[in-house]
Amino acid sequence: MRECGMLLPIASLPSKYGIGCFSKEAYEFVDQLKEGGQSFWQILPLGPTGFGDSPYQAFSAFAGNPYFIDLEQLVGEGLLTEDECEEADFGDDDRYIAYDKIYKARFKVLKKAYERWKKDHHQFIKSKLDPETIEYCFYMAVKDHFKSASWNKWDKDIRLRKPAAVEKYKKMLADEIGFYEFQQFEFNEQWSRLKAYANENGIRIIGDIPIYVAFDGADSWAHPELFQFDEECLPKAVAGCPPDAFSATGQLWGNPLYDWGYHKKDHYSWWIKRMEYSLKLYDVVRVDHFRGFEAYYSIPYGDPTAEFGHWEKGPGLDLFARLKKSLKKEELPIIAEDLGFLTPEVHEMLKESGFPGMKVLEFAFDDSENSDYLPHKYQENCIVYTGTHDNETLAGWFDSITKEEQNMVRDYLCDHYTPKKYLYKSLNSLVMRSKAALCVIPMQDYLGLDNSARINFPSTLGTNWRWRLIKSDLTKALADSIRKQNIVYGRVMWEDLQEDEKPKDPEEETETETEPKQKKDSSVKEEKD
């Protein structure tokens, strides 16, 4: 089955109050996807973000980002007024998110909604939230109490979760905990409605789960036994990547590493809960850094770079076998993010898993003519992207590569004539006609935008996760163009084609064309007789 999808983070949607959310514009985007013949909408992780605003560094693996709560729906529920929303400063740039203003304004507005809401609803809320989500709400209330400090900076009794301290803070911060529970309730309700609308219109959601969780988060604080921590609940080692051609000092991510021995003894119960939660949010889960399950890079805690780390064995397929058994699924709806340098062991693990891996067109045209990312080498069981959220846009990428690489691209396309500003269309078509079962193209590449529309520049801070669509980007002409392309390359389901879009049987066409002529000839003959 050949299908196609589009990559666009929730935050990048157009909407009224500074950031993309579960607003009417999100529903309109689903309509656009349907009109364009898409089967999937790929988003980024939906978790609550912290410093740096990265969705891959969330405060919990079991909570949603309150930025995505649609304020207009709260107005409709009588929890806010339009004036209260309009008076808040969410920024005045429709193209780029002003996170500093969003952070300062949104929680103040949500607090007003909570004060009205709690009178009637607060006592019923806990039954609608997962226990881990409730744990996150407690964590955030305590974090606010300590002026947003990471939990390793808290007073020792609550940092180490002494039972007496836990009870003390739960009583002392009951209203603050309730505020976060309200946010999660509204997030769940609004997202469930939007996802249901997408599913009803034939659109499935692809979401991400990062392999690691943030150190400054509820997961590591509430469950230190899951991680490689010492008696003071500080990491013994952290995650990252070793030095390579792109970085002489490697990448120091800083995430706590799992104690996989403990997870195995516990039958991977936390991972089962995590996957259950994720499959409530998404139809398909893209597992980030899949190679880390085969082997992970361990860096001594406190090291300033990743130069002196070493590799350790991960759980391998044992984890996924347990997930499959516990979730009672013949096949897990997982996409394996298998980008970067992979060992033979990782290749074997991916093959045995049966999960589709990823191919990225932008990786195909380096100084080698034997790249595994060249479209003619794809197997059917893979997902092809022009680029991901971590890559340049197609147009920006083509501008940035060498003249020799540009010539390689044009040689491969057999096209030295299309003006550069339109070449993105040919590149989109290239991945569409590949053998890959699913093709996912970022919205920016359908629009032919340059790197000013880039989502993320890895290993940098300050300008990431900010780009947004504006309403004028979404036109019927664009949807029609995308749909036509998908039909040409057989990525629209037959049942979704309109009658005038379905290929005609040549024999039927011949009969239709000749029948009037035969009648005409017959009448002429009769007149002559």
The sign of the torsion formed by the CA atoms of 168, 171, 173, 179 equals positive
For 122-144, the pLDDT digits (tens) are 666 777 899 999 999 999 999 99
| Mean pLDDT of the chain, nearest integer | 92
User: Is residue 337 annotated as a catalytic residue, yes or no?
Assistant: yes
Tokens of 253: 């991510």
Q: Is residue 517 very low, low, confident or very high in pLDDT (cuts 50, 70, 90)?
A: very low
Question: How much is the pLDDT for 510?
Answer: 52
Query: Cα(377)–Cα(137) distance, rounded to whole angstroms?
Result: 47
The structure's pTM equals 0.92
Q: How many CB atoms lie within 10 A of CB 402?
A: 11
Structure tokens, 211: 């392999």
Exposure b/e, 32-61, CB count within 10 A at least 16 = b: bbbbbbbbbbbbbbbbbbbeebbbbbbbbb
**How far, in Å, CA of 190 to CA of 177, rounded?**
20
- CB 338: neighbour CB atoms within 10 A? 20
pLDDT at 527 over 60: no
47 vs 137: CA distance, rounded Å: 13
Question: With pLDDT > 70 as the criterion, what percentage of the chain qualifies?
Answer: 91
pLDDT of 199: 98
* Amino acid, res. 118: K
1 and 494 Cβ atoms separated by less than 8 Å: no
CB contact set of 233 (below 8 Å; sequence gap of 6+):
152, 159, 160, 221, 224
Residue 493 has pLDDT above 90, yes or no: no
Mean pLDDT of 193-200: 98
Give dist(CA 117, CA 175) in Å, integer.
12
> Residue 221 — pLDDT band, cuts 50, 70, 90?
very high
Q: What would the mean pLDDT of 248-255 be, rounded to a whole number?
A: 91
Residue 526 has pLDDT above 70, yes or no: no
Sequence-separated (6 or more) residues with CB below 8 Å from residue 507: none
Q: pLDDT at position 494, please?
A: 60
Please tell me which residue in 312, 390, 450, 496 is annotated as part of the active site: 390
In which element (H, E) is residue 30 found? Answer: helix 24-35
Kindly state the tokens that stand for 407: 């010539």
Q: What is the DSSP string of 55-83?
A: TTSBS-TT---GGGS-HHHHHHTTSS-HH
Q: Pick from 31, 56, 29: which is nearest to 45 by CA?
A: 56
Would you say residue 511 has pLDDT above 70? no
pLDDT band at 528; cut points 50, 70, 90: very low
Closest CA to 37 of 501, 357, 487: 487
Residue with tokens 């301290």, as numbered in its chain: 165
Half-sphere exposure of 150 (CA within 13 A, CB side): 12
The strands making up 251-256's β-sheet, listed across from edge to edge, are: 251-256, 237-241, 295-300, 310-313
Residue 375 has pLDDT above 80, yes or no: yes
Question: Binning pLDDT at 50, 70 and 90, where does residue 521 land?
Answer: very low
What confidence tier does 342 reach under pLDDT thresholds 50, 70, 90? confident
Task: State the Cα angle at 227 between 226 and 233, rounded to 5°.
Answer: 110
- Residues of the chain with pLDDT > 90: what percent? 84
pLDDT above 80 (res 523): no
- 3 state SS of 398: helix
- Going by their DSSP bridges, the two strands 295-300 and 237-241 should be labelled as antiparallel
Chain segment 93-117, per-residue pLDDT in tens: 999 999 999 999 999 999 999 999 9
pLDDT at 367: 64
Which residue matches tokens 């890895």? 458
Model pLDDT, residue 429? 96
Q: Please pick, among 337, 338, 362, 445, the residue that the annotation labels catalytic.
A: 337
The catalytically annotated residue of 176, 208, 288, 392 is: 288
Mean pLDDT lowest among 150-159, 207-216, 272-281, 339-348: 339-348
pLDDT at 124: 66
Q: What pLDDT shows up at residue 118?
A: 87
